[in-house]
Structure 1
Amino acid sequence: MTRWLFLAALLIAFGFAGVYTYLGGFRAADVQQQTTAQPIFLAGRYFSGRVSNEQFGPMFRQAQQLHATGQLRGDLANIYYNDPAAAEDTVRAFVGLIVADTVSQQLPTEYRYRTFAAGQRVVQARIQASYLVAPDKLYSGVKTYAEQHQLKLAQVYLERFGADDQAEVLAVVK
């Protein structure tokens, strides 16, 4: 009986490892420092409050639904104006989609535009992985790079989740 339990546990562990590999969990982020060349436009909604707030989760789902139905064209994206892990679970964020410009699409009534300015020094981390595992890889890559190069981060982060599981974070450098 013990042998069967061991084999079942081993099979489950290999299954989880396979799924994690498929999602891109064993990939490392490509990290570099650069200056943003062009402004990045986002269409979305602003949120300030606790991550556990019941309004925060539906904002992501609404952006995903607007993207899936074609009401808004662009990549799912967020701007975080603080580090939620360091701010004791309080977040200030703009949740929505990166759009090509501010004139070619009709926004839903609750949506507004925000701009991530050009000319900012940023640490950019990119990875091809599912949005389920990408944020941890991207943020740890950004923070490690900043420590190694003695950079201070301004606690402003742009997350982008594009097609084919392409994900990136731009962290503004002070």
Structure 2
Amino acid sequence: MTRWIFIGSLLIAFGFAAVYTYLGGFRTADVTLETTTQPIFLAGRYFAGRVNSDGFGPLFRQAQQLQQTGQLRGDLANIYYNDPAGAEDSIRAFVGLVVADTTSQLLPTGYRYRTFSSGQRVAHARIQASYMVAPDKLYSGVKAFAEKQKLTLAHVYLERFGAADRAEVLAVVK
């Protein structure tokens, strides 16, 4: 009986490892220091409050639904105005989609535009992984890069999830 429990445990562990690998969990983020060359436009909604509040999660689902139905064209994205990994109870974020410009699409009710300005020095982290594992990899990559390069982060982050599981974070550097 103990042997079957051990074999079952191994199979379950192997299954979790296979799924984690498939999602890109063993990949590392590629991080470079860059200056943004053009503004990045986002259409979305602003949120300030507790991370675990009832209002925060639905913003992501609404943006994804608008993307899937074709009401808005673009990549899912967020701008965080404080460190999302370090925010224990409150967050300030703009949640929505990166759009090509501010004139070619009609905004849904309650949506506004925000701009991630050009000319900013950023630590740019990229990874090809699912949105379920990418944020941890991206933020830890940015923080390790900043520490190694002796850079100070301004705690403004643009998080973007594109097609084919391409994810990136642009972290503003002081």
User: Does TM-score exceed 0.5, indicating one fold?
Assistant: yes
Deviation of 1:168 after TM superposition, in Å, equals: 0.1
Deviation of 1:84 after TM superposition, in Å, equals: 3.3
Deviations 1:78-124 (A, max 9, x none): 00000134343210000000000000000001100000000000000
Partner residue in 2 for 1:151: 151
Partner residue in 2 for 1:70: 70
Deviations 1:37-81 (A, max 9, x none): 000000000000000010100000000000000000000000000
Deviation of 1:134 after TM superposition, in Å, equals: 0.1
Question: Displaced runs of 4+ in structure 1, greater than 3 A?
Answer: none
| Aligned-residue identity in percent | 78
Partner residue in 2 for 1:58: 58
Query: In the TM superposition, what are the counterparts of 1:1-174 in structure 2 within 5 Å?
Result: 1-174=1-174
Q: Count how many residue pairs are aligned between Structure 1 and Structure 2.
A: 174
Cα distance between partner residues in 1 of 2:93 and 2:71: 22
Cα distance between partner residues in 1 of 2:26 and 2:87: 28
Cα distance between partner residues in 2 of 1:16 and 1:34: 36
RMSD: 0.6
Give me the TM-score of the superposition, normalised by structure 1.
0.99
AA of the residue aligned to 2:135: P
Cα distance between partner residues in 2 of 1:98 and 1:16: 32
AA of the residue aligned to 1:33: L
- Is 2:85–2:139's contact at 8 Å kept on the other side of the alignment? no
Cα distance between partner residues in 1 of 2:12 and 2:28: 24
What secondary structure is seen at the aligned counterpart in 1 of 2:77? strand
Cα distance between partner residues in 1 of 2:96 and 2:147: 30
Cα distance between partner residues in 2 of 1:61 and 1:50: 17
What secondary structure is seen at the aligned counterpart in 2 of 1:58? helix
Cα distance between partner residues in 2 of 1:23 and 1:64: 19
Give me the TM-score of the superposition, normalised by structure 2.
0.99
What secondary structure is seen at the aligned counterpart in 1 of 2:13? helix
